[in-house]
């Protein structure tokens, strides 16, 4: 048997990027959330650190719960080959944009123990970020994240974390003062994920699905789009399978089915839910947080919906 990484053969060199979320004591039993940017990045890695965890209702379920009214972005540029201890290089305060930024970050899928995934080995510049969200009652919450060339980042509020990559959006907000999450124009590429995918393969409420075929660079992968009925039937089938926490890997035997598909479930509001199917792998279904074995019923259903090769 040979080990197959979910990111595919296009990435020849990979290394497991272990995300260690470093946090101070909770606000209820430790120091309050600082009111200004720390002068140095206190973590030892790329993202995954905040100076203090906040005692905010919902912080164990969402990166940014509630409705903050202000966001202070702190930037710590450095190099991804020697991360940790970067000096504060500048700040940006968002007022009108803070609510939208909090809402979009709050949609990201989270767990209390974010797992590492395969990362490319390219060295280069990176910027660690802290974002201080201030609430009308005077409380605050930190979010730590980063932008780096491998997109191998953990974003955390000190209680839960996400592997969804939002670095380019934070960088744009820091530079321009406008929050606009960066998403690919092609629904079959780019990173995705939706809150709730730590509990079920496809969260409730899907109204569409794009079935993407094998990626063949530089060509766009073939795809077929379906409406609400197909999306919900497919989601029900996927959610009926037994799941377990994902290690973002599978095992493939020689001579097995090498078809791979990506299912992008759309919603009326918020980001899509991303599910990957690898027909000849065990386990054959993965959404970055959960994985499941691919049974014949789901395999045949996806094959019927898939675009021609």
Q: In the predicted model, is pLDDT for residue 14 greater than 60?
A: no
- What is the structure's pLDDT at 10? 35
Residue with the larger pLDDT of the pair 213 and 20? 213
Range of lowest pLDDT (36-45, 49-58, 149-158, 191-200): 191-200
pLDDT at 181: 76
Confidence of residue 125 (pLDDT cuts 50, 70, 90): very high
Asked if pLDDT for residue 75 goes beyond 90, the answer is: yes
Tens digit of pLDDT for each residue in 261-272? 999 999 998 889
Q: Which two tokens stand for residue 144?
A: 């730590």
Q: Find, among 189, 198, 187, the residue nearest to 267 by Cα.
A: 187
pLDDT at position 32 over 80: no
Q: Which pLDDT score is estimated for 63?
A: 94
* Cα 239-213-4 angle, rounded to 5 deg: 75
Cβ(164)–Cβ(192) under 8 Å?
yes
Strands annotated E in the chain:
2-5, 15-17, 70-79, 90-94, 117-119, 125-134, 140-148, 155-156, 161-162, 208-212, 223-226, 244-245, 249-252, 260-266, 273-278, 281-282, 285-286, 290-292
95 or 215: whose pLDDT is higher? 95
Flag whether pLDDT at 65 surpasses 70.
yes
Q: What is the pTM of this model?
A: 0.78
Percent with pLDDT over 90 in the chain: 56
What average pLDDT score do residues 139-161 get? 93
- Cα separation, 210 vs 262, in Å, equals 8
Closest Cα partner for 163 from 112, 120, 217?
Answer: 112
**How confident is the model over 148-168, as a mean pLDDT?**
91
Q: For residue 151, what pLDDT band results from cuts at 50, 70 and 90?
A: confident
pLDDT at 18 over 60: no
Beta-bridge partner residues of 250: 4
Q: Residue 92 — φ and ψ, nearest 5°?
A: -150, 135
Q: With bands split at pLDDT 50, 70 and 90, how would you rate the model's confidence at 235? A: very high
Q: How confident is the model at residue 13 (pLDDT cuts 50, 70, 90)?
A: very low
Please give the pLDDT value at position 186.
Answer: 78
pLDDT, one tens digit per residue, over 38-50 is 999 999 989 999 9
Task: Look up residue 226 and give its two tokens.
Answer: 């379906």
**Other CB atoms within 10 Å distance of the CB of residue 71:** 25
pLDDT of residue 190: 67
What residues have CB less than 8 Å from 105, skipping those under 6 apart?
Answer: 63, 64, 143, 155, 166
pLDDT exceeds 50 at position 19? no
The answer, yes or no, to whether residue 224 has pLDDT greater than 60, is yes
- Range of lowest pLDDT (3-7, 76-80, 99-103): 3-7
Confidence of residue 192 (pLDDT cuts 50, 70, 90): low
């Amino acid at each position: 048997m040979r080990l197959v990484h979910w990111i595919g053969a296009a990435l020849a060199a990979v290394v497991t990027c272990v995300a260690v979320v470093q946090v101070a004591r909770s606000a209820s039993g430790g120091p309050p959330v600082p009111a200004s940017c720390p002068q140095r990045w206190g973590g030892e890695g790329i993202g995954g650190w905040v100076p203090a965890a906040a005692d905010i209702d919902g912080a164990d379920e969402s990166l940014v719960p509630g409705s903050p009214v202000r966001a202070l972005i702190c930037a710590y540029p450095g190099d991804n080959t020697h991360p940790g201890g970067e000096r504060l290089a500048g700040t940006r305060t968002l007022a009108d944009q803070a609510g939208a930024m909090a809402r979009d970050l709050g949609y990201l899928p989270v767990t209390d123990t974010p797992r590492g995934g395969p990362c490319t080995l390219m060295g280069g510049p990176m910027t660690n970020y802290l974002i201080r969200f201030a609430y009308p009652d005077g409380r605050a919450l930190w979010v730590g994240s980063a932008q780096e060339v491998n997109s191998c980042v953990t974003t955390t509020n000190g209680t839960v974390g996400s592997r969804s990559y939002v670095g380019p959006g934070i960088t744009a907000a820091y530079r321009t003062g406008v929050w606009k999450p960066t998403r690919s124009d092609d629904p079959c590429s780019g990173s995705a994920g939706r809150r709730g995918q730590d509990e079920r393969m496809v969260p409730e409420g899907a109204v569409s699905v794009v079935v993407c075929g094998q990626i063949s660079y530089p060509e766009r992968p073939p795809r077929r789009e379906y409406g609400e009925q197909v999306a919900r039937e497919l989601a029900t089938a996927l959610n009926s399978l037994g799941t377990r926490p994902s290690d973002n890997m599978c095992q493939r035997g020689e001579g097995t089915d090498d078809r791979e598909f990506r299912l992008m479930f759309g919603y009326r509001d918020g980001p899509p839910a991303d599910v990957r199917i690898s027909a000849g792998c065990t386990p054959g279904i993965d959404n970055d947080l959960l994985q499941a074995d691919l049974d014949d019923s789901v395999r045949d259903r996806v094959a019927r919906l898939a675009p021609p090769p």
